[in-house]
Structure 1
């Protein structure tokens, strides 16, 4: 089933439950509904937890975010440079795309598996919002409300500090609070990267042998559609031997558009005409997704059986997506564009030396410029993929 249907089913189920709850509790202030765009469920359940974490080591949290502010502004500058550089290749290789776990998004070169991606998304939301709340409490600012939300089909969460108290706080306090969410995502990404690298470089080679590349999915109506199938193991491409991901990438990058490809698999040899890579018109395109085909070592199978060792690959995949999603979203959130955290941080930094009018002028400029580049890249990606 297409991953989008999971979100549609969940959307209908959640809104139905919310509608019945509101019907029987019409005076409830915990549930706000703006069908079909936004659903918010407010709760005080985790305020105590946030308070305890904040009070345990307030000095640590302040110094952690003092360093974090520097990292956030360096990341903001890096992201802005990359965004500007992407303008030169936006019509060939769009740099921005929407990522939804389990859904093939037009124009996106990346497909995120549903389960691993969804877990990574939930962790991203939790650490991001809780970090905003923890730093708000460290700075002595009350939390008015917090809870869960559903924006169209995408789940989310929110922590809402008291806006009047935030306005009265020092500029340094505001910067700590604004940068806390993205910084938490970056830290989680680094932790996940270390775990992923450990599993991939030490645990997996000790348990598995590499044997070609396995097709994980075939793009509908792509060049390989009707020829190659999910589960096939590729052993050669145009007489280039494929033994692992490195040799596979080398063979794929040698492919040219509108030429004939000869793909040898464990099910036979298949021949079809290549298309143009939607993200790079100079490369040939098969329209498949793949991963290394791993074979359980005989001594491991004899000791642990077949089921237990395969859980290792699931963990590897999970931590890979926790790393990639947290890093990409965390850095994206630092773009100098309001209402993103990066935009709020830029506004606060500029206010140290500039008048309110000049701060607004510069912030608006960065906001509109960044927004235009993002929208243009998204639209270009969709048209290129058609």
Structure 2
């Protein structure tokens, strides 16, 4: 089954359980006894407990010190959100309205909706679900640990699915939080944002570190020929798919950037000679001096890249030895997962820090500012965000 079929199956099971539990009290009681609670468009695995597993953090001074860091982190995330909304977002709305009123090409949206099967496909759907599951679970765990450190009670906790998206939740006594000291409320409400930022730093750092240290383990970002244009200069020179280009005119090619430096050289309207050397996976060596006349501006090769997601890619990760080379697909997939977790984590942190009606940032404003100030600010921010998202979605659909 492909990812889309799995998503459809999951949503069908959710709908069946919800309809069955509404139609039959016996089914509802049976599901409740095993901790399942069907909801519209999803299902929850709910535990009503004070969270004994987290009791080790009750009153923890080190936990309080750690989560105090969440307050400046949430403030910084809120600034990032406003910079995005009021610099990027408002500019997009203005250009979109101008293009709609007077004609012309609509601007590229600052937000691209994640729609499985359309904006993301294949294994990226699976990696997205993994990233959401990890990010949301750590976010809620941050709230729970911070609350335990402040001696507050957890009403319930659990996990589940909304449509096909994994979710986790922790129910706290919100009135108790709002009645707490501002510093206490700040630690608890910013705990999720802090955990997401920590997650972002860990996975983004691990991805960058892996790419930096890979050459020490004999792994490089290889330039591999994926396909050849029939009748092109490369085709006439005997280049075949699978060739790992190792040098051009004596200069080692260890990354896409190295190859791109020669692209302008190849595209020039001047006759040049190209001494291209490389190796195939089976160990066959390639070496040829190719003459490029002035009326040809391309070799006619397409490169095989390692897609990471969000339009980002890197050179194919390869390990070369005397008898050939092997492509490390497993390492490319790990880096892909790391990128998804990094992007989802920082996105969740910034959105939750924003003073919207349903976010931690909105609740924090309620504890710091009088209601006559916090509510108008949340209304303006929420309306602006919805407008930008709606126009981005409309632009994408059109």
User: What is the TM-score of this pair, normalised by structure 1?
Assistant: 0.70
Please show how residues 105-254 of structure 1 align to structure 2 within 5 Å: 105-106=118-119, 113-203=124-214, 206-212=217-223, 244-246=255-257
Deviation at residue 128 of structure 1 after TM alignment: 0.6
- Stretch of structure 1 that moved more, 25-34 or 152-161: 25-34
CA contact (8 A) 1:79 1:332 kept: yes
- The superposition leaves residues 93-141 of structure 1 with CA deviations (integer Å, 9 ceiling, x where unpaired) of 21112336xx2444x8x99723433322221121111111111122222
Give the distance between the partners of 1:193 and 1:290, measured in 2 at CA: 15
Q: Please, which of 310, 313, 317 is the counterpart of residue 336 of structure 2?
A: 317
Deviation at residue 19 of structure 1 after TM alignment: 6.4
Q: Which ranges of structure 2 fall in alignment gaps of 5 or more residues?
A: 94-105, 227-240, 246-252, 268-296, 305-310
Distance 1:18 1:162, change over 3 A: same
Q: Please, which of 24, 32, 36 is the counterpart of residue 37 of structure 2?
A: 32
Aligned to 2:317: 294
User: Secondary structure in 1 aligned to 2:69?
Assistant: helix
Aligned to 2:76: 74
Distance 1:300 1:360, change over 3 A: farther
Give the distance between the partners of 1:112 and 1:347, measured in 2 at CA: 41
- Stretch of structure 1 that moved more, 87-96 or 173-182: 87-96
Give the distance between the partners of 1:360 and 1:265, measured in 2 at CA: 55
Deviation at residue 300 of structure 1 after TM alignment: 10
Deviation at residue 382 of structure 1 after TM alignment: 3.0
Count of aligned pairs between the two proteins: 322
Distance 1:167 1:334, change over 3 A: closer
User: Secondary structure in 2 aligned to 1:99?
Assistant: coil
Provide the aligned C-alpha RMSD in A. 3.9
Give the distance between the partners of 2:146 and 2:16, measured in 1 at CA: 36
Aligned to 1:371: 386
Deviation at residue 15 of structure 1 after TM alignment: 4.7
User: Secondary structure in 1 aligned to 2:28?
Assistant: coil
Give the distance between the partners of 2:260 and 2:390, measured in 1 at CA: 30
User: What is the TM-score of this pair, normalised by structure 2?
Assistant: 0.68
Deviation at residue 80 of structure 1 after TM alignment: 0.8
Deviation at residue 18 of structure 1 after TM alignment: 6.7
Distance 1:180 1:380, change over 3 A: same
Give the distance between the partners of 1:70 and 1:328, measured in 2 at CA: 17
CA contact (8 A) 2:14 2:42 kept: no
Give the distance between the partners of 2:81 and 2:350, measured in 1 at CA: 7
Aligned to 1:94: 109
User: Secondary structure in 1 aligned to 2:147?
Assistant: helix
Deviation at residue 213 of structure 1 after TM alignment: 5.8
Q: Which ranges of structure 1 fall in alignment gaps of 5 or more residues?
A: 216-231, 237-241, 268-287
Deviation at residue 202 of structure 1 after TM alignment: 0.7
User: Secondary structure in 1 aligned to 2:107?
Assistant: coil
Deviation at residue 182 of structure 1 after TM alignment: 1.3
